Amino acid sequence: MIVVTGATGNVGRPLMELLGDKAVGVSRPQVDLARPVTLEPVLEGAEALFLLFAGELLGPDTDIAAVLDVVKAAGVRRVVLLSSQGAGTRPGMIPHSRLASFEEAVRQSSLEWTILQPSGFFTNVYAWAGRGVAAAPFADVALPFVDPADIAAVAAVALQGGHEGQTYVLTGPEAMTPRQRAEALSLPFVQQSVEEARAQMRQFMPPPVVDGTLTVLGSPTPEEQQVSGHVEQVTGRPATRFADWAARNAHAF
Ligand SMILES: NC(=O)c1ccc[n+]([C@@H]2O[C@H](COP(=O)([O-])OP(=O)(O)OC[C@H]3O[C@@H](n4cnc5c(N)ncnc54)[C@H](OP(=O)(O)O)[C@@H]3O)[C@@H](O)[C@H]2O)c1
């Protein structure tokens, strides 16, 4: 049996659909990773765990060692950690440094591990839904965002074994700018100032996460702008194009 944390999230939902009755999905209040003991009952008899730390869990209080102790004590063999590309490209910068330290803890554990380092998610554009306009900073900075369903597809394969000790960088098939994403959704584009974007993002993200995200969006490294082939390598099919995702999800905008 496979246990999926973050089962209500952007990656967890499609992952649960792919795994079907092979998996049990958990989220709060049943399992709160800020209180690792809450994982104990759901891990009974589990072989593999999909693990993610989102939102406030990227703060300094999360005890990954305690989480991994519970996982090992339950006899779980395999863990697939959802991290972020920033953990590899910016390991010294908050919040990427938090994910880098979680990655290190997983690599040093006695578990079979696979680490997923995705670029920004296509679903981040839901911030534009219902507004009739796409407002973003850094209008012409291109990044190869990825479909969370592709991350889920890679996770579904890795959770079933054969990918131990691998770190996969997961991107979409092409780098696109915010202006081009707006065009694909047939939305008029409005350039936001960095301050406007920061204020908007702070409504649903902790401040260090906002600042770390804005740095990547505005000043990506060459590595962060590159397309990776890992989605296709693991799943056997190409990564989803934003245009195709947009066509399927246009109704939400
Ligand atoms: N969004 C991006 O562009 C992006 C890019 C790269 C990497 N990532 C990484 O991907 C992961 C998911 O990102 P997201 O922001 O898109 O999240 P998300 O899909 O909105 O999902 C967050 C999930 O985490 C669960 N969760 C939150 N706090 C929890 C807690 N204390 N205990 C247990 N579960 C908890 C939520 O469940 P409930 O609220 O239902 O409890 C929800 O299912 C994060 O680790 C993020 O760093 C995101």
pTM assigned to the model:
0.97
What's the 203 CA to ligand 1 centre distance in angstroms? 15
Domains of the chain and any CATH numbers: 2-252 (3.40.50.720)
Ligand 1 nearest-atom number relative to CA 29: 41
* pLDDT confidence of residue 87: 96
* pLDDT confidence of residue 234: 98
DSSP one-letter string for the chain: -EEEETTTSTTHHHHHHHHGGGEEEE-TTT--TTSGGGGHHHHTT-SEEEEE--GGGGSTT--HHHHHHHHHHTT--EEEEE--HHHHH-TTSTTHHHHHHHHHHHHHSSSEEEEEEE--BGGGGGGGTTTSSEEESSTT--B--B-HHHHHHHHHHHTTSS-TTEEEEE--SS-B-HHHHHHHTT--EEEPPHHHHHHHHTTTS-HHHHHHHHHHHHS--HHHHS---HHHHHHSSPPPPHHHHHHHHGGG-
Ligand 1 nearest-atom number relative to CA 33: 32
* pLDDT confidence of residue 205: 84
Could you tell which of 3, 8, 38, 99 is best to mutate to test the pocket of ligand 1, judged by most ligand atoms within 8 Å of the CB? 8
Could you tell which of 43, 52, 119 is best to mutate to test the pocket of ligand 1, judged by most ligand atoms within 8 Å of the CB? 52
What's the 141 CA to ligand 1 centre distance in angstroms? 25
* pLDDT confidence of residue 207: 85
Give pLDDT < 50 ranges for the chain: none
Furthest C-alpha separation in the chain: 53
What's the 212 CA to ligand 1 centre distance in angstroms? 16
Say how far apart CA 249 and CA 181 lie, in whole Å: 13
